[in-house]
Amino acid sequence: MSTKFDVIVIGGGPGGYVAAIRAAQMGLKTACIEKWLDKENKPRLGGTCLNVGCIPSKALLDSSHKYHDAKEAYDVHGISVGKVTMDVGTMVDRKDKIVDQLTSGITGLFKANGVTSFEGMGKLLANKKVEFTAHDGTVTTLEAENIILATGSVPVNIPPAPRTGDIIVDNEGALDFREVPKRLGVIGAGVIGLELGSVWARLGSEVVVLEAQDQFLSLCDQDIAKEAGKIFKKQHLDIRVGARVTGSEVKKKGKKEEVEVTFLNAQGEEQKQTFDKLIVAVGRKPFTDGCLAADSGVKLDERGFVFVDEQCRTSVPGVFAIGDIVRGPMLAHKASEEGVMVADIIAGHKAQMNYDCIPSVIYTHPELAWVGKTEQELKAEGIKYKAGKFPFAASGRAMAANDTDGFVKILADEATDRILGCHIIGGHAADLIAQAVIAMEFGSTAEDIALTVFAHPTVSEAVHEAALAVDGHAIHIANRKKR
Ligand SMILES: Cc1cc2nc3c(=O)[nH]c(=O)nc-3n(C[C@H](O)[C@H](O)[C@H](O)COP(=O)(O)OP(=O)(O)OC[C@H]3O[C@@H](n4cnc5c(N)ncnc54)[C@H](O)[C@@H]3O)c2cc1C
């Protein structure tokens, strides 16, 4: 087997595998090293995203949403389905099948594109050499003109709630519950906590989410966060902000175990609450353990992220780093686009990424999606802006679908009308946000969207109407601005 390559990628998640495919498409001799083994010790590509992140969580969100709709939302259409039941095992097996299909799909794509796959651990040595340790322990030294580090991230553990068996779990364990926990605790009201909390709440768990920050969804536009807070409350997600977990104790209860969590509430009073399962979802940290030899020359910042410039160059010429191990949002699409950019740069093309136009999504129902600046950021930066807002309650298509929660809000520069941000809470927010991302990528004004023809009836019309509302001209709500 060849040991010399143009490009070696360490890590086969959405950052690494996309970088490897793109590099191979550019005619570069490319290898990718991935260490992941599944529960049966089978090597797997796809990283966190495909194995225990984006895809499996969305599979469970979709299954639980269908169950919830069949139970609660069909009668209004005149459909009666009798007693609705959920076989959690079938739901989890379906999720596993999708993961299998997608991860083996990447193996197929590697073959089709001529990417050499190394199954095991990669370690960057000095002088662009890479030590590869196969799963059977065999060590080989590889070398390449360019190396891309894409080793991703792992969940943050907190001392008051260490992972224990299947009672206190991280996101991985929470994707594999074989029955619905009656009482579910979630530490952290971020994206992962809210998504996984929603899955199990829809299936009947009493869910309590403990969030240490005093403000709910502090990174979101607060208009969206407020609306989401009201809706989640109606969905019986008991979200407690300012709740700092100080301890946990797993106790025996008959043949079963449960966990007692101690926390300080927003008033600083000590409280205790007992759960059948506890999900710790307090964030993720970059993972570089065992990947960098002491003399590799690659520098980390004070939080453990690999230090890179705007084009993902590390402190060592010819060594790049992408995805969750570098600054910026920990998102699969950000990792993939960095992979494409770096592969293009290595192939000799001019490439860059627009970090101001990366969309974020929370896949609850309704979904929350946003891009660009929030109102609070614009205020803090002293930027004068206009806001246009349109509620889904006024959208014919949303009414037809009986899915009228939420709104679209577009923020545009007061002087130039250029779109600075878009914030959506609603049934199809994750897909709708692409319209704002494209508009912002093209430097559009709110008027550009207002002058665009949208198909009727669609929920997309809410984006059109929000753009019209920026100047007080939305048609289907009263929003005239004083002249
Ligand atoms: C529950 C959950 C839901 C999520 N949902 C979304 C979502 O809906 N949308 C979204 O955009 N993001 C989501 N994310 C985040 C997303 O999964 C990550 O941002 C993304 O996977 C990062 O990609 P990456 O390639 O940088 O790293 P990873 O996907 O973590 O991949 C890194 C890979 O490198 C391998 N590796 C590490 N060290 C070595 C080594 N030394 N040698 C060989 N291989 C190594 C690892 O085994 C891993 O496979 C979610 C995450 C979680 C946990």
Summarised one tens digit per residue, pLDDT across range 298-349 is: 999 999 999 999 999 999 999 999 999 999 999 999 999 999 999 999 999 9
Q: Does domain 358-469 have CATH number 3.10.20.340?
A: no
How close is the Cα of 22 to the center of ligand 1, in Å? 18
Q: Is the pLDDT of residue 481 over 80?
A: no
CB 53 less than 6 A from any atom of ligand 1:
yes
- CATH fold match for the domains 4-155+285-353 and 358-469: no
Structure tokens at 80: 């009666």
Per-residue model confidence (pLDDT) at position 55: 97
Name the residue with the closest Cα to ligand 1, atom 20: 332
How many CA atoms within 13 Å lie on the side-chain side of 206? 6
Task: Tell me, in angstroms, the distance from the centre of ligand 1 to residue 289's CA.
Answer: 15
- The answer, yes or no, to whether any atom of ligand 1 lies below 6 A from the CB of 12, is yes
Ligand 1 midpoint to CA 159 (Å): 23
Give the three-class secondary structure for 20: helix
Q: Are 111 and 17 in contact (CB under 8 A)?
A: no
- CB of 266 closer than 8 Å to CB of 242: yes
Instruction: Check residue 44 and report its DSSP letter.
Output: -
pLDDT digits (tens, 9 = 90+) for 192-240: 999 999 999 999 999 999 999 999 999 999 999 999 999 999 998 999 9
Residue 284 C-alpha to ligand 1 middle, in angstroms? Answer: 10
- 13 C-alpha to center of ligand 1: Å? 5
What is the Cα Rg of the chain in Å? Answer: 24
Q: Is 276 in the pocket of ligand 1 (CB under 6 A)?
A: no
Residue 482 above 70 pLDDT? no
Percent of the chain with pLDDT over 70: 99
Atom of ligand 1 nearest to the CA of 325: 26
C-alpha span between 174 and 64 (Å, rounded): 14
Atom of ligand 1 nearest to the CA of 322: 26
Asked whether the beta carbons of 373 and 411 are under 8 A apart, the reply is yes
**Which class for 458: exposed (0-12), middle (13-18), buried (19 or more C-beta within 10 A)?**
middle
Q: Is the pTM of this model over 0.85?
A: yes
Q: Residue 197: CB within 6 Å of ligand 1?
A: no
Residues 6+ apart with CB under 8 A from 348: none
Strand 277-280 relative to strand 183-187, pairing: parallel
- Contact assessment for residue 117 and residue 44, using Cβ atoms and an 8 Å cutoff: no
pLDDT at 483: 60
Any idea where the domains of the chain sit in the sequence? 4-155+285-353, 168-282, 358-469
What is the pLDDT of the chain when averaged over all its residues?
96
Query: Is the domain defined by 168-282 classed in CATH 3.40.50.300?
Result: no
Closest CA to 278 of 394, 193, 384, 338: 193
CATH number for domain 4-155+285-353, candidates 3.60.40.10, 3.40.718.10, 3.50.50.60, 3.10.20.30: 3.50.50.60
**Using 50, 70 and 90 to split pLDDT, how confident is the model at 480?**
confident
Residues carrying an active site annotation: 456
Residue identifier of the C-alpha nearest atom 15 of ligand 1: 331
pLDDT in tens, 278-312: 999 999 999 999 999 999 999 999 999 999 999 99
13 lines ligand 1 (CB under 6 A): yes
* Residue keyed to tokens 């070696």: 8
pLDDT score at 255: 86
Per-residue pLDDT tens over the stretch 42-74: 999 999 999 999 999 999 999 999 999 999 999
**pLDDT per residue as tens digits for the range 90-129:** 999 999 999 999 999 999 999 999 999 999 999 999 999 9
The answer to whether 454 and 461 are in contact (CB under 8 A) is yes
